[in-house]
């Protein structure tokens, strides 16, 4: 990669989650300037990526397309413009992209996503569960029932619903990849409910990997640390945003492009002996697993 990555961002906020990428300063880096030519590691594969319009999901969507995969991006209704940017970029490099606007918290939507993807591309081989929300609170007493339920609805239940709908269409060599978090391992004093959902995804990843192993379907996860995505200015106050990533050993926030390779590895033949594991991309933070 030829980028020089910024250490931190100026203080800023956005009023509504999951946040809009085009309104961030600086803009996240989601692709390297020198990676147009790839090796076709995902040629003839079809991937469904939730939250694929921005942040980590955008980086993964572009990386998969560059490796030859057809990509179905599931995005929030407020993120139509961000999703269109990704679709245009994928089509500019000769790839194929389907945009699916959906409320992932509704269980019936999961089957619709699978149906639309198969109608467009004929199959599903890779599922990346990436969409998430977070509502920081200093005290447990301040976490409302609604915020608790909304956080689990998006981060965990939506993952379960979509995985349940996709798995019957997967076969040997196919895979599921979940985006968990460093908070599942370290905790976070202001993200009690969010950290809990990510811990649930950690256990779900390991359990589903065991469940599907005999079918040759692999299940893994990526645990990001402090990455510069729209969720950050949409979640925290200006002071927290300005400090984002400054306390990890590498001393800076990470960029979405720095995670893309992990998702490619886990989806490709190079990761064929990996299942039930988590790749940590967190700026040097040491975890217990």
- Active-site residue list: 194
State the first-to-last Cα distance of the chain, in angstroms, to the nearest integer: 28
- 71, 65, 47, 56: which is closest to 169 by C-alpha? 47
Which 3-state string (H, E, C) describes the chain?
A: CCCCCCCCCCCCCCCCCCCCHHHCCCCCCCCCCCCCCCCCCCCCCEEEEECCCCHHHHHHHHHHHHCCCEEEEEECHHHHHHHHHHHHHHHHCCCCEEEEECCCCCHHHHHHHHHHHHHHHCCCCEEEECCCCCCCCCCHHHCCHHHHHHHHHHHHHHHHHHHHHHHHHCCCCCEEEEECCCHHHHCCCCCHHHHHHHHHHHHHHHHHHHHHHHHCCEEEEEEECCECCCCCCCCCCHHHHHHCCCCCCCCCCECCHHHHHHHHHHHCHHHCCCCCCEEEECCCCCCCC
């Amino acid at each position: 990669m030829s980028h020089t990555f910024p250490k931190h961002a100026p203080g800023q906020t956005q009023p509504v989650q999951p946040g809009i990428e085009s309104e961030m300063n600086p803009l996240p880096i989601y692709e390297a300037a020198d990676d147009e030519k790839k090796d076709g590691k995902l040629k003839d594969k079809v991937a469904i990526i939730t939250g694929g319009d921005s942040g980590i999901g955008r980086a993964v969507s572009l990386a998969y397309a560059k490796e030859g995969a057809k990509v179905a991006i599931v995005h929030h209704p407020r993120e139509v413009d961000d999703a269109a940017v990704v679709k245009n970029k994928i089509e500019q490099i000769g790839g194929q992209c389907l945009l699916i606007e959906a409320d992932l918290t509704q269980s019936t939507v999961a089957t619709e996503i699978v149906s639309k993807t198969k109608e467009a591309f004929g199959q599903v081989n890779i599922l990346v569960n990436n969409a998430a929300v977070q509502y920081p609170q200093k005290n447990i007493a301040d976490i409302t029932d609604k915020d608790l339920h909304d956080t689990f609805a998006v981060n965990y239940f939506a993952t379960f619903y979509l995985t349940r709908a996709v798995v019957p269409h997967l076969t040997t060599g196919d895979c599921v990849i979940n985006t968990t978090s460093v908070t599942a391992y370290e905790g976070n004093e202001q993200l009690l409910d969010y950290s809990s959902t990510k811990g649930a995804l950690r256990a779900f990843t390991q359990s589903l990997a065991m469940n599907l192993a005999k079918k040759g379907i692999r299940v893994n996860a990526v645990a990001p640390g402090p990455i510069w995505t729209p969720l950050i200015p949409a979640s925290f106050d200006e002071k927290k945003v300005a400090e984002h990533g400054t306390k990890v050993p590498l001393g800076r926030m990470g960029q979405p492009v720095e995670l893309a390779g992990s998702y490619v590895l886990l989806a490709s033949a190079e990761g064929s002996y990996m299942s039930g594991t988590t790749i940590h991309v967190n700026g040097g933070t040491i975890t217990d697993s």
